[in-house]
Structure 1
Amino acid sequence: MSAITKAREQITVMAKSLYDRGLTHGSTGNISMRLDDGTYLVTPTGSSMGFLDPARISHLSETWALLSGDVPTKEIPLHTAFYETRGATGAVVHLHSCHSVALSLLPEIDQDSVLPPLTAYGIMLLGKVKLLPFFVPGDTAMGSAIRGLAGKRSAVILANHGPCVAAKNLEAAVYAMEELEATAKLALLLRGTSPSLLAPEQISQIVTRFDVDWT
């Protein structure tokens, strides 16, 4: 099996897992992966994450020109900005997951750090999650907003739209996305209560031990 075939299969398996567990629905969400030769695989526009055909996953050149497969997602500007500003990025996952979107709509949310410090893994896998304003899907301004972060955030939530996570490889990006959605769900379940958040000194210990960018 060639490297590109194996990578397409991996995207298909991961995408179906996300879909089957309700983290994305219909034809929403998209995934990209950077291959060792500098080219990219991207899920096609209008495709369902639960029913991808590996052979039709878009294969793009280093300059994002279509080499094979179907036309890629219209959210390409979102993906390219992460690869350009975070050099270690090997994969990007963007979903319309319910709890993350719901959290983005609450007026009291801290736009610089959407997720409250509820668990160690939320901090370890995501760092601070930035809330970005609403953009029409596919708007190139989304990419500009990501570039404006200068590579400091690996995860964002687009208001009224959904989260996007960049990581060193596809597995890490999927796991981080799952943690983001789980933490958002916890935050909503605890809304109106007075939960015991991690204390600043506990956060500092996590950040130091696991080398988390907490700026």
Structure 2
Amino acid sequence: MSEPRDELARAGAHLAALGLSPGSSGNLSVRDGDTVLITPTGADLAAVDEASLSVIGLDGSHRAGPRPSKEFPLHLAFYRRDPDTAAVVHLHSRHATAVSCLPPWSEHSAVPPLTPYFVTRVGTTPLIPYADPGDPAQADAVARLSYPFRAALLENHGPITVGRSMSAAVAAAIELEEVSALLLLLGDRTPRLLPPDVVRSLARRYGSPWSG
């Protein structure tokens, strides 16, 4: 089994190679027992130094390493929501960020059920109201939502996904970017969405959250 530090570094390199992490944008974290390993502030995901990650407690205390990404309160909000969450991926990928600048599809999900892969790999994706990057108010907004979800769009900012493994969080981030690109390609045309009964069936079969 890979060490958490190695998993995080490989995930960063993979997402950067796909063009989903321009410049020094984005941040990743992985849970390691009662602590969280998170990329430092200003880190380039293409060249994450696994030996120089920031270590923080679930209470937000800085345990070791360089100063953590300013988005650490948002990461911790997801770990606190669900003890099974093992990794968090926050990107500024182009298409998902563009969709974060649009009105949400529904009260619970910014993105509609366009494809089965979106439903099974991502699921309900709420639009979290705008707050400046690093503002704890955004973490508070995540904590207040009562329905389950493992992905969100931060208004006018970008996507964030979580998973029970780093690979699951990365897969969700990639799928969210893909469905966002499809949504933008459709423009002002009315898309044919998956029927509600199909969406519910897929969500049940794959254990993905769907509140529509």
TM-score, length-scaled by structure 1: 0.91
Match of 2:173 in 1: 177
Is 1:70 aligned to residue 71 of structure 2? no
- Equivalent of 1:25, from 22, 25, 38? 22
Match of 2:84 in 1: 88
Is 1:54 aligned to residue 41 of structure 2? no
Match of 2:157 in 1: 161
The one-letter code sitting in structure 2 at the alignment partner of 1:134 is: Y
Bigger shift: residues 204-213 or 177-186: 204-213
In the aligned structure 2, how far is the partner of 1:183 from the partner of 1:193? 15
In the aligned structure 1, how far is the partner of 2:30 from the partner of 2:89? 9
Superposed displacement of residue 150, structure 1 = 3.5
Structure-2 change in CA distance of 1:194 and 1:62 (3 Å): closer
Provide the alpha-carbon RMSD of the alignment. 1.8
Bigger shift: residues 48-57 or 65-74: 65-74
Structure-2 change in CA distance of 1:137 and 1:203 (3 Å): same
CA deviations 1:21-80 (Å, max 9, x no partner) are 111111110011111x32210000011111211111112234333333211100011011
In the aligned structure 1, how far is the partner of 2:63 from the partner of 2:102? 42
SS in 2 for 1:142: helix
Match of 1:132 in 2: 128
Is 1:191 aligned to residue 155 of structure 2? no
In the aligned structure 1, how far is the partner of 2:147 from the partner of 2:49? 32
Superposed displacement of residue 112, structure 1 = 2.4
Q: Any gaps of 5 or more consecutive residues in structure 2? A: none
The one-letter code sitting in structure 2 at the alignment partner of 1:15 is: G
- Equivalent of 2:11, from 9, 14, 17? 14
CA deviations 1:112-135 (Å, max 9, x no partner) are 211121111101122210001111
In the aligned structure 2, how far is the partner of 1:105 from the partner of 1:59? 32
Superposed displacement of residue 151, structure 1 = 5.9
- Contact 1:85–1:150 (CA<8 Å) still a contact in 2? no
Match of 2:115 in 1: 119
In the aligned structure 1, how far is the partner of 2:147 from the partner of 2:111? 19
SS in 2 for 1:173: helix
- Contact 1:78–1:143 (CA<8 Å) still a contact in 2? yes
Identity of aligned residues (%): 38
Structure-2 change in CA distance of 1:107 and 1:38 (3 Å): closer
In the aligned structure 2, how far is the partner of 1:132 from the partner of 1:108? 10
Superposed displacement of residue 194, structure 1 = 3.5
Q: Any gaps of 5 or more consecutive residues in structure 1? A: none
SS in 2 for 1:83: helix
SS in 1 for 2:152: strand
